[in-house]
């Protein structure tokens, strides 16, 4: 059982480039979310989805887009990367009150 | 709005000593509360959760936490630290009235265990 799979694990981007962080879950969870983790700030919610076709903004959505065409997949798009988006990104899917996290994507924007 | 404060960004204990990691929350509704652990270069793993049942919650790896409404606290304890407990610990809160599981995290506490 794979759980939550994130790709890539590491990525370096130049300022202004765009990219998509992939997230897939095989647990048939309706709720999925993206967080970013920065030192001393914990994890902050970027976007979330309560089911296919339904997404909403979290605490820090600027500069990011999401879509949810299937239950399994919830990609996060960086439209024009900025150094402030250097972070570790975690995808999570939830059943009731328990969230299952992926291994993270470490993104550096230079 | 909900918020979480974790007192102490770094805590250092000796192997075999008591572990106490502090968490205070702010919420306009009775919340759900969680502790997660993160080992280096890994994702987060749920240690334990409070969802309005028993106020003393037992989790994995010998950890437990007590929900104290009057103190708005949910401190994490373990009687005897092991070297393998060295990790970063996050306290989180969610609103039971919201569908899904929108978590608000504290800043984290790095636990160091000395031999």
A74-110 core/surface letters (b: 16 or more CB in 10 A; e: else): bbbebeebeeebbbbbbbbbbeebebbbbbbbbbebe
Interface residue ranges in chain B relative to chain A, Cβ cutoff 8 Å: 4, 9, 32, 34, 41-46, 49, 51, 90, 92, 94, 99-108
Tokens at B44, concatenated: 């987060």
Q: How many other CB atoms sit within 10 Å of the CB of residue A46?
A: 23
Tokens at A86, concatenated: 């250097």
Which pLDDT score is estimated for A1? Answer: 62
Q: How far is B113 from chain A (nearest CA, A)?
A: 20
Q: CA of A94: which chain B residue's CA is closest? A: B101
Residue A34 has what DSSP assignment?
Answer: E
* SS3 labels along chain B: CCEEEEECCEEEEECCCCEEEEEEEECCCCCEEEEEEECCCCCEEEEEEECCCCCEEECHHHCEEEEEHHHCEEEEEECCCCHHHCEEEEEEEECCCCCCCCCEECCCEEEEEEC
Which pLDDT score is estimated for A2? Answer: 75
Which pLDDT score is estimated for A37? Answer: 97
pLDDT in tens, A3-52: 999 999 999 999 999 999 999 999 999 999 999 999 989 999 999 999 99
Q: Share the mean pLDDT of chain B.
A: 94
Which pLDDT score is estimated for B28? Answer: 83
pLDDT band of residue B33 (cuts 50, 70, 90) is: very high
Q: What does the pLDDT average to over A59-88? A: 97
Which pLDDT score is estimated for B97? Answer: 84
pLDDT in tens, B48-82: 999 977 899 999 999 999 999 999 999 999 999 99
């Amino acid at each position: 059982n794979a759980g939550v799979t994130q790709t890539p694990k590491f990525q370096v981007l130049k300022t202004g480039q765009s990219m998509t962080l992939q997230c897939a879950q095989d647990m048939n969870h309706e709720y999925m979310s993206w967080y970013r983790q920065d030192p001393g700030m914990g994890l902050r919610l970027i976007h979330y989805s309560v089911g296919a076709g339904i997404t909403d903004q979290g605490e820090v959505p600027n500069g990011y887009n999401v879509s949810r065409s299937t239950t399994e997949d919830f990609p996060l798009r960086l439209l024009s990367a900025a150094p402030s988006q250097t972070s570790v990104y975690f995808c999570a899917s939830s059943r009731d009150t328990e969230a299952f996290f992926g291994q993270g994507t470490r993104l550096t924007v230079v | 709005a909900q918020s979480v404060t974790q007192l102490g960004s770094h805590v250092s204990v000796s192997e075999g000593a008591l572990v106490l990691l502090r968490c205070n929350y702010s919420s306009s509704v009775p919340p759900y509360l969680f502790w997660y652990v993160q080992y280096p270069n890994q994702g987060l793993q749920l240690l334990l959760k409070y969802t309005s049942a028993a106020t003393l919650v037992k989790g994995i790896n010998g950890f437990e936490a007590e929900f104290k409404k009057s103190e708005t606290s949910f401190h994490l304890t373990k009687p005897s630290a092991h070297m393998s407990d060295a990790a970063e610990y996050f306290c989180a809160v969610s609103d039971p009235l919201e569908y899904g599981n929108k978590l608000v995290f504290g800043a984290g506490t790095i636990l160091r265990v000395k031999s």
